[in-house]
Structure 1
Amino acid sequence: MTDDPIHSSDPLSRQLHAEMLDSLDEELEMELDDQRLEALIAGTAAARQTGSDLDRRIYFRELLRLQGELVKLQDWVQHRKLKLVVLFEGRDAAGKGGVIKRITQRLNPRICRVAALPAPSERERSQWYFQRYVSHLPAGGEIVLFDRSWYNRAGVEKVMGFCTDAEYEEFFRSVTEFERMLVRSGIILVKYWFSITDDEQQKRFLMRIHDPLKQWKLSPMDMESRRRWEHYTRAKEIMLERSHIAEAPWWIVEAVDKKRARLNCIHHLLGQVPYGEVDRPAIALPERVYHPDYLRAPQAKEIFVPAAY
């Protein structure tokens, strides 16, 4: 086998290399602004081989443009005191977290926050099922992104046997009324299901197994979900059929290609809330005030972080 992962005949080596490049892309997205981007990626032909046929320059350009529109949407939500809730559902490794990261990347965390609830406590299990989610709903001028949501009951809880058949049926009797109530209260509710293939989930799980930086994403529950692929498929089909309502329809994001999924989801989300520019007064930096008697106090060298780089 060749030592060059790009030309290796081993599919896993090539996939690992593509995943490493995708991680590099994520870092670029987090660190680079539009002016530095072109100079840094110019001429790096190998770095463009990420497994997607979407050119990286087009991807970055569109991502930054869409993120600029997300900032406008955020300003509009805050200005008009809107309440926006977005649910992200899908199989393990479907790419929900990657899209959420790109949405929040340039937004104000005081306005747009992520709700990723852990397994319910013993006390929460005795509450009304939706109760622990209600406390995370937005006030006026806020956006909440649910990284998994109350649909846990229709998915993982059903497949893994964490709820009874009676609780499962009660969920479907309640969820549509619950969501209609949210919409009547003025909440804009958008629901996404991220769809990947059997083979793609297999590949992404293998990537996590072989990548020390991503092994933490795997849990025994993830491993079991892989074994029960068909059970999850059936649960998903029932969920979409029984909870797709006019007031809060489901939207399916084809997510095998991560980059296209991110762009398509953000583009679609922007279309769900009519928004416009918010007029703001011009910002003028005030003059720095100097006091002739001000002396800066010395700092002990031992409290500074060592300059390792």
Structure 2
Amino acid sequence: MLSTHRQTLAFVLRFALVAILACVVLIVAGCDKDDRRISMRFKFKPGMRLTYEEVDKGTLRRFENDSLTHDTYEEMTWDIEWYVRQIFDDQTAEIVDTKTWRCRSWDQKDTTVVDTSKSSKTRPIVMYVQPDGGLVDMATDPEKSRYGLGYLKSYYEQCVPVFPKGDLTEGYSWTQTTKVVVQEGPMEASTTYTVKSFARERGYDCVVIEYNGTVIVPLEPMCYKDSSKLISGVDNITASGHLYFAYKEGVIVMQTERWIKDGVRRVVLSKGDTVSRRVLREIDVHHFLLKLEME
């Protein structure tokens, strides 16, 4: 009888211990989850000036008819400024985007060969952006050649998140899908975004968004400086990373990304021969806010 009581007591104690451990796990899990509910909207204001720096590091390889013609490691630094020129009645912001870049590249076979080049300011691009991040239109400023705007607009529409309406919480996820028409026919590119956590970054309270997706950008026909002509082409890009968004100020504070591009082109050379070209780029991107100023 005593042995039976001891067995019963041992069973009860084991059961109680398991129950206590389960409660502890639940409590800890509950403590780890942030219950904040936030609305994600860009809060652009006239006269706002956002200064960013972006550092891109990675490899660039070019092929012509399957033969490797270029193989380098590159480091590019971008100085980026967004100036909010005006806000329209529907809250669409007119933003002037200007950039300069500096590049250093090393030959993969001989790393002592360094090619350093620098540009002046690129032509300003004017973007019309809604508070949820949706792109209304894009233009050059002043309005000169519109070549390349189709590429930039398609890239922006696929790479910048359009924030959902309402309050978002940790763990919320949404998928952004874009239809793209290439030479082979219509295709779909999509990126999935997840509210991963909250963090204090560069002096701002941020929501951290994890993303993973594909980007498909068709190329417009063009003439190169060597008199060859691009007939058709498409860049297939996979991107994954984290976006840090200051939800009180309504601005992007930081972005880290792994970016892989596989681009194909059909080119007619100056002598009339048609060749296939391929561009492979693997880049690690670090994009961060330096200054937020108001005029």
Q: Same fold (TM over 0.5)?
A: no
Greater CA radius of gyration, 1 or 2?
2
Relative to total residues, which structure has the larger strand share, 1 or 2?
2
Larger RCO (CA under 8 A, 6+ residues apart): 1
TM-score (norm 2): 0.24
TM-score (norm 1): 0.23
Relative to total residues, which structure has the larger helix share, 1 or 2?
1
